[in-house]
């Protein structure tokens, strides 16, 4: 699979892991203290091909992600869970330890975000609204997807979809009121 965007990773081991999974170009930050020339390379890549930020699921990785996002708007973000970034043996956590499948999944799910997504709607909110589990949940999710223009999703993916589209609590609450009025 060829990826058009340039993928920003932390180091050469991450580049190796990404290139074992996909055909892509990478830029390495070489740590969390990103210098100006690296930021300029990332900016140029964003202007010409687009960028996917794919850093480790730890504090330094998040610091790099935030630094790039502050300086270069419009980048996509790929995430990998800590569980999928653990080594088979030894210590550390990182993209370089992830399986080919986990890397493919993370890059496929790369999202465009203007800022770090905040959880406006919790899984408990979804349960309280009768959107996951129980009689009529599927129909309510279908209606919610129509009202919010986010499409239908199953119960397991609903929370992720609401976060991905940054649906506010207010918009969610208004949609739930309309759904309940129609029942």
Q: What is the pLDDT of residue 110?
A: 78
pLDDT at 81: 78
Q: Which runs of E-coded beta strand occur in 33-150?
A: 51-53, 76-77, 111-112
Name the helix (H) or strand (E) containing 8. strand 6-9
Q: What pLDDT score was predicted for residue 89?
A: 75
Is-contact 85 9, C-beta < 8 A? no
CATH of 6-112, one of 3.90.870.10, 3.65.10.10, 3.40.50.10440, 3.40.50.140: 3.40.50.140
pLDDT tens string 130-176: 999 889 999 999 899 888 877 778 888 899 878 866 888 999 999 99
Specify the 3-state DSSP secondary structure of 9.
strand
Q: Is the pLDDT of residue 36 over 50?
A: yes
Q: What is the pTM of this model?
A: 0.63
pLDDT at position 113 over 60: no
> What is the DSSP secondary structure assignment for residue 121, as one 8-state letter?
S
Q: Is 112 helix (H, G, I), strand (E, B) or coil?
A: strand
Q: pLDDT at residue 30 above 50?
A: yes
Please give the average per-residue pLDDT across 43-72, as a whole number: 92
For CATH 3.40.50.140, the residue range(s) in the chain are: 6-112
Angle (CA) 65 109 95, round 5°: 50
pLDDT at residue number 15: 95
């Amino acid at each position: 699979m060829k990826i058009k965007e340039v993928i920003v990773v932390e180091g050469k081991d991450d580049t190796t892991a990404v290139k074992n999974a996909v055909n892509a170009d990478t830029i390495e930050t070489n740590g969390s203290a990103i210098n100006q020339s690296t930021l300029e390379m990332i900016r140029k890549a964003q202007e010409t091909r687009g960028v996917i930020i794919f850093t480790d699921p730890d504090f330094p990785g998040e610091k790099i992600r935030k630094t790039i996002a502050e300086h270069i708007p419009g980048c996509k973000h790929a995430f990998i869970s800590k569980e999928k970034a653990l080594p088979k043996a030894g210590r550390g956590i990182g993209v370089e330890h992830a399986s080919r499948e986990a890397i493919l999944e993370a890059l496929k799910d790369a999202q465009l975000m203007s800022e770090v997504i905040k959880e406006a709607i919790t899984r408990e909110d979804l349960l309280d609204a009768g959107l996951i589990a129980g009689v009529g949940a599927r129909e309510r999710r279908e209606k919610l997807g129509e009202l919010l223009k986010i499409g239908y999703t199953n119960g397991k993916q609903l929370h992720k979809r609401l976060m991905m589209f940054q649906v506010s609590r207010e918009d969610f609450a208004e949609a739930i009121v309309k759904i309940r009025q129609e029942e």
